[in-house]
Chain A
């Protein structure tokens, strides 16, 4: 039983760790924290292995767990300022994160814009727009109503566009792109 559990668990790790890491990273934007939270998410999965009803839907389970773990982290820190400071530091001294994560130029812009969103907006946006979950799935993962997902997503998209637009202006993109 233990061997089968371990085998299945590490198969799931193999399949979903990258996706979960990127999701958490997009939210917290601190590579070491993202890795730690991902590890915690998988440990919870291991502990709850026996109570997972639908092993065919582990992906959603993992994202829900990752969401909860990340929110717990924010709550614990609730010192979000502290987190933001860390993120700021990390972005500023980018070279220190190279060993864990590499971000291409375009991605860095998006992440920078995401960082400007509220954590809840960031989450819904990443799940829906980047991870490609449906409204229904996103609502399940976040334990929200679909209406709330839609509203928050709408606000998040508008805000993000604004941030990106401002960013574009600062780097003086051709006007055709701006319009």
Chain B
């Protein structure tokens, strides 16, 4: 028997020479079962933890949405409540409106001066006016279907100062007109702007006619009151808080129908 044959002979027998003690197989099998059970338990826990995290996230998102929606509706409701309550008082920042005056019974005249104003506003420069204004002039954002021609102009005061040098309060006018139909929109910075917005200031109370209507706006930065002036048209008075925390006093009046007037008023405030 040579060396190679001897080696092969020995190797053939090696499998039988190594004896893995019998009970060890069962012991390792038990250990395997235990380990597998432990691993799958860990996996389940991990999966459950994943689900828990997902659930917590969903609940958080839900709560956030709930809070946001609640907040939005509260903001909306601030105004809606005022509008729908039919109560005697309407609140807007530091302003309180009391509809305690008797229904309007004033004789409003025609807006007869509009042809003169149109004439004087012919060469009006909006850009230059905006430069001199201490607030951002509100512009209508809709392409209105109202078949009126638009003229615009500005009145600065005090009138004693040269217009170009004056920087400060300004009254800006838009005049929409066609035949005997007319609308004007007038805006200026409310002089009591700060007092209107700051609730720590003395409350401003305004008495309005009991037949005045509050026009609902989604934006709580606006409050608008509509007055029916009979045969001489309708008027909307608005207070609008802008991004610079200024209050714009906006008045729009015209002898067009109520819906059109409201639509036009809204369009100034939808930027």
Contacts and interface: CB of A to CB of B under 8 A. Distances in A.
If over half of B's interface residues share one DSSP class (helix, strand or loop), that class is named, otherwise mixed; here it is: helix
A106 B15 CA distance: 11
A122 to B, nearest CB: 13
A57 to B, nearest CB: 21
Contacts of A178: 3
Interface string A106-132: 111111000000000000000001100
A103 interface: yes
B200 interface: no
A26 B14 contact: yes
A164 B20 contact: no
A103 B21 contact: no
B208 to A, nearest CB: 76
B21 A102 contact: yes
Contact of A39 (B6, B15, B17, B31): B31
B136 to A, nearest CB: 66
B149 interface: no
B28 A39 contact: yes
A101 interface: yes
A158 to B, nearest CB: 10
B12 to A, nearest CB: 8
Contact of A99 (B3, B15, B21, B25): B21
Interface string A145-179: 00000000000010011001100000000000111
A144 interface: no
A10 to B, nearest CB: 7
Given A106-B13, A157-B7, A42 B32 contact: yes
A12 to B, nearest CB: 11
B21 A109 contact: no
Given A17-B25, A42-B32, A43-B36, A101 B14 contact: no
A48 interface: no
A38 interface: yes
A17 B4 contact: no
Contacts of B29: 10, 13, 17
Given A100-B21, A164-B10, A177-B1, A22 B36 contact: no
A130 B7 CA distance: 11
Given A26-B14, A26-B18, A177-B1, A35 B6 contact: no
Contact of B19 (A10, A17, A102, A111): A102
B202 to A, nearest CB: 76
Contacts of A164: 3, 6-7, 10
B35 to A, nearest CB: 6
Nearest to A128: B11
B24 A35 contact: yes
B150 to A, nearest CB: 74
A179 B1 CA distance: 8
A110 B36 contact: no
A101 B18 contact: yes
B22 to A, nearest CB: 10
A104 B17 contact: yes
A103 B19 contact: yes
Interface-central residue, B6, B14, B15, by most chain A CB under 10 Å: B14
Given A38-B28, A104-B19, A165-B3, 17 more contacts: A10-B29, A13-B29, A13-B32, A17-B28, A17-B29, A25-B18, A99-B21, A99-B24, A100-B20, A101-B18, A101-B21, A104-B17, A107-B13, A108-B17, A110-B14, A130-B11, A161-B3
15 contacts: A18-B25, A38-B28, A42-B32, A43-B35, A43-B36, A43-B39, A46-B32, A100-B24, A106-B10, A107-B16, A110-B14, A111-B14, A111-B18, A129-B8, A157-B7
